[in-house]
Amino acid sequence: MKRTLSIIVGALLVGGCAASTKPEPEVVTPPSHLPQTPQELEAHFSKMFAGMRQEIDKTKARLLHKTDHQAVLLASREVIRTRLNFKRDLKWHGDEDPRVSLIAAADSKLPKAVRQLDAASIFAYDDHVRIEFGGGWHHQGLIAYSESFTNVPMANDGFQKIIDGLWFYEDTQ
């Protein structure tokens, strides 16, 4: 009985294995709209990076030349004073750090002059606020200091003074 059962189970296993042979892998061809050659790939990335550079330059020009700097500075100082009253930006995970408020840029409680900048991130501290644009390989934005803060960055550190208390920064050129 045991021998017969072993033979039947063995036959099923061998037969099952033979029946479950894997089919040949299917050759997948990339869709025709994707780059097919190294030259096409290079052209694709060149175009993509040129578009990114254009967006970076557009944001920089808007911040430096089409923004009411005095209004942004006054609104930023209000954010510094009331930094604990805003919604936390949910894209930042981890424990809260009492030294920095990670403020949701679309929080309706933000002063209009800051909210309408449409920042990627807003980081508020006791003495300054950083209104950041970009991300990944390139960050730029505005840093506004409280009225009492005197230790401001130097222009040779990648910062550009706009008005007293308000600076533009870029972390890459």
Each residue of 78-118: pLDDT tens digit?
999 999 999 999 888 777 788 999 999 999 999 999 999 99
Residue 98 tokens read as 């009492």
| Residue 19, pLDDT above cutoff 90 | no
Find the mean pLDDT for residues 37-43.
81
In which element (H, E) is residue 173 found?
A: none
What is the three-class DSSP state of 48? Answer: helix
Spatial separation of the C-alpha atoms in residues 61 and 63, rounded to whole Å: 6
